[in-house]
Structure formats: structure tokens, C-alpha cells
């Protein structure tokens, strides 16, 4: 599932890049290469169509990114450090053992008769 979404993510990134570069800007960008195709998109030209397409692609890209993040987090709940064995091959206990009381006992109070 994640490999399919990752492939979709790459395709969406390429499509967003192309749609952004085709839009007209103050320096025209790659929009100069659209030529006479402006009549295909309607009277306003490709600006309205490309803006809507870019917004739609960006929205799908964000949803796909969130889905990928959720799936990767759900599948990788274990840490790499859970499987580390120390060099002396001792297993580290999961819970600490009861501490041994090594402090001397307090002297008892004197008794009066």
C-alpha cells in the first residue's frame, strides 16, 4: 500500500511542478510555450483552468502525504534500539530489580527501666 502511495506522491509532485511552470507570471515562465492552446481552456485562457488544476493537485498531494505519514508511523512502531544486544551479550532487564538496601540500620532507641 505504501509503495503505491509513494508512486502516486512522485507522480503528483511532477504534475504540480508542470502545472505551476505552465502558469503565466510576470516573467511568463514556461507559459510562453502554450502558444495557441489558450482557446482550448475557454475565453479566459489557461489561467483559470491551471489554477484550479494546481489547487486540486496540491490538495491531493497533501492528503496523500498525510496518508503516507500515518501508514509509515503505524507500521514502524518498534524502534531499532529494541533489538540491540550489548557487547558482553547480557540481556538488559525490562524492569529494574528491587534495589538491595545496603545502608546500615539505624540504632535502636535506648530502653529505660
| Residue 34 to residue 100: CA distance in whole angstroms | 81
**Is 72:2 a contact under the CB 8 Å cutoff?**
yes
| Residue 26 to residue 20: CA distance in whole angstroms | 13
Locus of grid cell 500515518: 70
Q: What is the pTM of this model?
A: 0.53
Instruction: Tell me the C-alpha to C-alpha distance, in Å, between residue 20 and each of 55, 57, 89, 92, 111.
Output: 10, 11, 57, 55, 93
Q: Mind listing the pLDDT tens digit for each residue in 6-64? A: 999 999 999 999 998 888 765 555 555 555 444 555 555 556 788 888 999 999 999 99
Amino acid at each position: 500500500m505504501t509503495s503505491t502511495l509513494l508512486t502516486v506522491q512522485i507522480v503528483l509532485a511532477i504534475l504540480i511542478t508542470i502545472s505551476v511552470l505552465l502558469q503565466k507570471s510576470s516573467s511568463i515562465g514556461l507559459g510562453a510555450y502554450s502558444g495557441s492552446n489558450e482557446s482550448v481552456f475557454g475565453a479566459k485562457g489557461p489561467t483559470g483552468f491551471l489554477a484550479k488544476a494546481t489547487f486540486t493537485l496540491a490538495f491531493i498531494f497533501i492528503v496523500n502525504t498525510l496518508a503516507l505519514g500515518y501508514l509509515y508511523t503505524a507500521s514502524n512502531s518498534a524502534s531499532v534500539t529494541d533489538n540491540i544486544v550489548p557487547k558482553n551479550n547480557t540481556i538488559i532487564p525490562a524492569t529494574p530489580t528491587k534495589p538491595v538496601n545496603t545502608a546500615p540500620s539505624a540504632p535502636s532507641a535506648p530502653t529505660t527501666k
